[in-house]
A and B are shown apart, each in its own frame.
Chain A
Amino acid sequence: MTFWYALVDLLPFEWAQSGSMYFMKNALLAVLVITPLFGLLSTMVVHSRMSFFSDALGHSAFTGMAIGALFGFHEPTWAAVVFAILFALLFNLVKRRSALASDTVIGVFSSTAVALGIFLSTLNGRSFTRFNALLVGDILSVEPAKVGVLALILLAVAALWLASFNQLMLSAISPALADSRGVRVFWQETVFSVAIAVVVTLSMTWVGLLVINSLLVLPAASARNVARNMWQYHLFSLLGAVLAGIAGLMTSYHVGGSAGAAITMYLALGFALTFLLRKK
């Protein structure tokens, strides 16, 4: 972190001055880790039409938090991660075994998770308001250790992308074809949904549950408007996410307001611009 603070001190901003405003510097680093993470995952979420699924995962993450809090864990986040992973695994299993359309299965899971979460968190007449922070998120409260965990996750997702993006893409295009070329479609999809589950849950506290899905949808949706191949698609998605992340944080610093929401609004602006410039 010392190195990072020294680096940030070189920036010509009022908050970047040496020895002060550490929360802002931590937040900037967190944004620089979280946004590429979402930029990468976003490409496959959009390509394999999983935006509804990732939305449902966000809901389940909240339920996991409620369960963690109920059992009095010091760090309910880890309970939430475990719950979200179970949710993703169970969803994949049910989807595979049932003849229902996947959006129906997601609807079933999502509503069950939300209901369970609300029920557990209001048990014994307790108030729901202590979970409000989770809904909105607060990136300024991020601690260096948490940024470290997120950075490890970023490395893991980058490794996953290097190792199995091809198989993942092929599975999304045609399961039958992927299967005939030796891809284990079910496992590819499962690993990917677990990755989304972990990322959504771990970053929810900083980004905010209500806007987190926009980070999984908007970067790639904008990139799709203009990209002609996978390289451009990833480049635009990553760049868009990082730029919107920085711009959102700065805006939130100067005018107040939630950073997560500000980032989302920049992403939405990016979508509007790329939509106007979209390829014919």
Chain B
Amino acid sequence: MRKIKHGKLAAGCADSCCLKLDGLSVKLEGDSILEDVSFHLHCGEIVALIGPNGAGKSTLFRSILGQMGYQGKITFSPAGGPAIRLSDGAAIGGARPLVGYVPQAPSFDRGDPVSVLDFFTAATARWPVWLPIPRKYRARAAACLERVHGADLLDRPMGGLSGGQLQRVLLALALEPVPHILILDEPLSGVDIEGEHQLLDMLDELRTQYDLSIFLSTHDFATLGQFADKVILLNRRVLKSGPPEEVLSSSEFFETFHLHMGKGGGQ
């Protein structure tokens, strides 16, 4: 099992960088998707977002990524620095936080002629990947993949990767360039137990190495206690947030997932 949980859980936000969501609401064609969502996310913290399907998890991510209109405020304060409002368009003095994003795993057919190198180069370079890829881009992709111990995957077709390998490739991409905040949408779905351990260890390694805030959604409640510093239970609004053991034993959690008290938190 995993040793350290986190470096420091800052009580306030004064001396730590912090992503703040304040009264975030999203409406789509009159339907309310998110209502008054507020929470803070600190550097070096792993925060897990849980909630039933349709709870607004992906919408929340897309709002932080600036892909979606919202009401309320999303700000980022670097350690000790002034707050920067996200999704405001132009970057402010280069201090705008970078958000790395691992989307829900795209589905590749087994026969898709897209190698990991093609995929990586297409996302990070201007070189058209339908031409032979020069050595310099190859070396760069290999170096990025090495961050997730995946340099050997370079020439593999994307469609032939296991769920865990695919997540590692997507993760390597989200880390290029190294972001301030890393968002992962369901990184554990379709990943076997071994791959899951590998992935979680990697996230733990990354947040200490780069002092990243990691924000991920998951349905895997059994492992939450092993890696998450904080769990946010979302169903349109924040129903409960706090340390994993607290959220997983709350009446809100049991009600949301229609579990009966006393049966334990697994699914």
Contact = CB atoms under 8 A, between A and B. Distances in A.
A158 to B, nearest CB: 10
B157 A228 contact: yes
Contacts of B128: 161-163, 165-166
A175 to B, nearest CB: 9
B130 A161 contact: yes
A111 to B, nearest CB: 28
B215 to A, nearest CB: 14
A229 interface: yes
Chain B contact surface mostly = loop
A162 B130 CA distance: 9
Contacts of B67: 176, 179-180
B139 to A, nearest CB: 17
Nearest to B125: A166
B117 A229 contact: yes
B101 A229 contact: no
Given A166-B122, A180-B65, A228-B157, A173 B114 contact: yes
Interface string B88-129: 000000000001010110101001111101110111011111
B106 A228 contact: no
Chain A contact surface mostly = helix
A177 B105 CA distance: 10
B119 A173 contact: yes
Contacts of B158: 173
Interface string B152-178: 000101100000000000100100000
Interface stretch (A128-136, A143-151, A231-239): A231-239
Contacts of B130: 43, 161, 165, 230-231, 233-234
Interface of A: 43, 47, 161-163, 165-167, 169-170, 173-174, 176-177, 179-181, 223-225, 227-234, 278-279
Given A166-B123, A229-B114, A230-B118, 5 more contacts: A166-B122, A177-B173, A229-B117, A230-B129, A230-B130
21 contacts: A162-B128, A165-B128, A166-B122, A166-B123, A166-B126, A166-B129, A169-B122, A170-B122, A173-B114, A176-B62, A177-B123, A180-B67, A180-B103, A224-B113, A227-B113, A228-B115, A228-B155, A229-B115, A231-B131, A233-B113, A279-B111
